[in-house]
Chain A
């Protein structure tokens, strides 16, 4: 049982860190739009432009 004397304070410290992160997130406007972020993961940034355009304007090819 004596292990709880260590574990609980440890938990309290972790909670304090979590709260710190949460407050920072609120402060940096991450909770401004609650509708949108759930969808963010779905969008694929890597879809290639159509072939004709690709040769002309794809910046990744210059690398």
Chain B
């Protein structure tokens, strides 16, 4: 039942354990090792609460524990605000009720764990967890327990939960789902009963049944069949009526004719006690048709569930200045001209103009450009960008409703509405098919009645039933459902089942750059070192403090030492900066430390930081400078001849010591490790990069992964126009993106994929969400799309050929209605079985 955790992996989350036995927990009397303090804390909490049998029966590993537990817990307090709660909390007299989306629910064991754990809290009235929807419904007593208490308890056992706004379609889907189950259950139970009575007559099991008994059986069958026809079958009549009203035909038209005609004929023959009845055929027919419809409904229902889980409600709070004091308020309550304080490291809550302070902002979520922008008094900042350095005060310039981010959201909504629609193949096919079936039935009836055959009516019913295109109707939904389930296991969520069908028509794949092809993190790609300069510097150093090597070792290891020295110096300077580029230096310094090739850090004095430009300091009485090319080269005392200037062209970080350039660094975003390989595997498509970053940066990444078409400098609306232009030329676009700025294009593309750590807005706009940051999922997705298309074709081919094969038998009267219904059902089962092979 339970899963096997390989040796050397974390017992809790199953990821590789690099810490060996640093984080042990005793689970079910066995000492187990975890990979991090987060997993250890979660696991210990589970064991201490007597819930260790979670580990025995889980069928999936848990999500990795969160190490920064304390900070997230304090943030949850904001959910206790009454203004916030009125949006998603329902009052039920004494108790309050809420629906939460819970991240990290992977199997039934999680549901049990959550219910048990929450039930222990005082004030909890009821908890019910739904595994397939990844949601929990919680009722609690607000006077005893706060909502943040519920959320933090869930967090302590490793589940992140958030309130969310249910999709508007969802309520109606849920109601339909219930009525489907009722109809299906009723039809199933009744079919068994009616079949039992009918079987007795088919095979004479009870010996010679007298006429009275047969009449009695038929009457009981009629009684049992009536609710099936009136209630379970009602969806077919409604759909057929709608089609006829719209002056077209669909699959349900012949179905309705067959059901109602057979039923009425049955009622008449029970009354007059002459003729045949086929109640068991009606029941079986309705039951099997309903199974197909239910499967189709479920796959669509699941897709909506997933998409509405994306609509998480994350409240944005702001520090508003009131009478020289700052109070936390919800961003949506802010008015124009309010003054708001944004501390370093916080996300700007609202659009505004800086009135105090200076800082750099990461606007990559809005513009896609990863390089931070420096802004000072009088300049506009946008909600959603991240304040990286100093604290600033902003004056609100637009309410949240009109903020830049919400404008992008509206762009996305209108793009979504104009998305190209594709009629399902099976629907079109079955429409022609239905017309043929109706014509053939009419012809059959008139032929046999002209012949004077008393069976003309039943032969016609056989034709209608035998050629019922229900296997044809199942062909697509059953294959799509299975493909979706399989993709789900691989960490690929489909929000729209028919996206798979559209994927197979893809001609162009368009990638966003930052965060999609690249990791969205800076690292040193290339460095240049001025040998002569470092040489002298080091020689002097050797005489002073940091270096103690002799002249000989210096010269033998010269080049390597240059590098070490330069890296240590650069790191020592960049350490003082909070600029994201600085992290790149600390990473490469850490790497150097591990391989034992780094020096101890040089001592610096008089460190001065020029925000957004660079850092200057004193090092053994010489001035050192590190910073942007512009900052260093234009510094008053820097000497650099043309040769050096040429060598460092394009480098974005320069290091100067004692008025001489000693090193240059090309610090850029790292390309995903598997990107090149994936791009190669996708060479049959036309590939393209569409980026909000500068053309130059986009070109560089394109060269690394070998993509030929690159468009840079595109704000969200330009991206949208570009895609629309391609679509106007009959291209079918698959778009991959992650940022808020990608949301409108994702919504407009024929099929869109949100990758790995995409923003909620992008996930919301996309048809497919990859839970795995690896691009390999894209190849898996395309392969699965091709496979399911093949399966759909096979299914359709089988369904059609069965129907055509059986038609002559039905028309010639060799087939009775019950045989026709049985054959139709078998044909459907074969189709469903074929589809389930996609699950492997």
Contact = CB atoms under 8 A, between A and B. Distances in A.
B178 A31 contact: yes
A39 B49 CA distance: 20
A35 B48 contact: no
Contacts of A48: 50
Interface string A10-31: 0110010011001100110101
Interface stretch (B51-59, B245-253, B797-805): B51-59
A12 B50 contact: no
Nearest to A23: B182
Contacts of B131: 33, 35-36
A35 B108 contact: yes
A1 B686 CA distance: 76
B302 to A, nearest CB: 11
B109 A39 contact: yes
Interface stretch (B185-193, B350-358, B402-410, B781-789): B185-193
B132 interface: yes
Nearest to B137: A29
Contacts of B133: 32-33
A49 B130 contact: no
A27 B178 contact: yes
B223 interface: yes
Contacts of A23: 182, 185
B30 to A, nearest CB: 13
B181 A43 contact: no
Contacts of A11: 193
A5 to B, nearest CB: 7
Contacts of B107: 39
Given A33-B131, A48-B50, A15 B185 contact: no
Nearest to B224: A12
A43 B53 contact: yes
B211 interface: no
B213 interface: yes
Interface in B22-72: 26, 47-54, 56-57, 59
Contact of A15 (B1, B181, B193): B193
A44 interface: yes
Contacts of B833: none
Interface residues of A, number: 33
Interface string B746-790: 000000000000000000000000000000000000000000000
A23 B224 CA distance: 17
A53 to B, nearest CB: 5
Nearest to A27: B178
A19 B193 contact: no
Nearest to B223: A12
Contact of B52 (A34, A36, A39, A47): A47
B116 interface: yes
B647 to A, nearest CB: 62
Given A43-B53, A44-B53, A12 B220 contact: yes
B151 to A, nearest CB: 22
A34 B302 CA distance: 12
Given A1-B213, A43-B53, A18 B189 contact: yes
A33 B130 contact: yes
A55 interface: no
A42 B52 CA distance: 13
Nearest to B186: A19
Contact of A43 (B47, B109, B193): B109
Contact of B47 (A27, A32, A50): A50
A49 B220 contact: no
Contact of B57 (A5, A18, A27, A42): A42
Interface string B177-205: 01001100110011001000100000000
A26 B47 CA distance: 35
A36 B53 contact: no
Contacts of B50: 47-49
A19 B130 contact: no
B744 to A, nearest CB: 35
B216 interface: yes
A5 B216 contact: yes
B108 A26 contact: no
Given A27-B178, A33-B130, A39 B57 contact: yes
A50 B185 contact: no
Interface in B226-252: none
Contacts of B189: 15, 18-19, 22
B619 interface: no
Contacts of B190: 15
A47 B216 CA distance: 57
Contact of A35 (B132, B182, B185, B223): B132
A16 to B, nearest CB: 10
Contact of B185 (A22, A36, A45): A22
A9 to B, nearest CB: 8
Contacts of A1: 206, 213
Contact of B48 (A32, A34, A49): A49
Nearest to B120: A59
A44 B55 CA distance: 11
B156 to A, nearest CB: 15
A38 B178 contact: no
Contacts of A44: 53
A34 B216 CA distance: 39
B26 A50 contact: yes
A42 to B, nearest CB: 5
Contact of A36 (B49, B51, B130, B220): B130
B112 interface: yes
Nearest to B51: A47
Contacts of A42: 1, 53, 56-57
Contacts of B116: 45
A20 B612 CA distance: 72
A22 to B, nearest CB: 5
A34 B133 CA distance: 10
Contacts of B220: 8-9, 12
B494 interface: no
B48 A47 contact: no
Given A12-B220, A12-B224, A38 B108 contact: yes
Contacts of B178: 26-27, 31
Contacts of B112: 39-40, 43
Contacts of A15: 189-190, 193, 224
Contacts of B186: 19, 22
Interface in B142-186: 178, 181-182, 185-186
Nearest to A45: B116
A62 B720 CA distance: 67
Of all A-B residue pairs in the complex, the 3 with the closest CB atoms, nearest first, are A39-B108, A49-B50, A36-B131
Given A5-B216, A22-B185, A53-B48, 13 more contacts: A8-B216, A12-B220, A12-B224, A15-B193, A26-B181, A26-B182, A32-B130, A33-B111, A39-B108, A39-B109, A40-B112, A44-B53, A47-B51
Interface of B: 1, 26, 47-54, 56-57, 59, 107-109, 111-112, 116, 128-133, 178, 181-182, 185-186, 189-190, 193, 197, 206, 213, 216, 220, 223-224
10 contacts: A5-B216, A8-B216, A18-B189, A22-B189, A23-B182, A33-B130, A39-B59, A43-B53, A47-B51, A49-B48
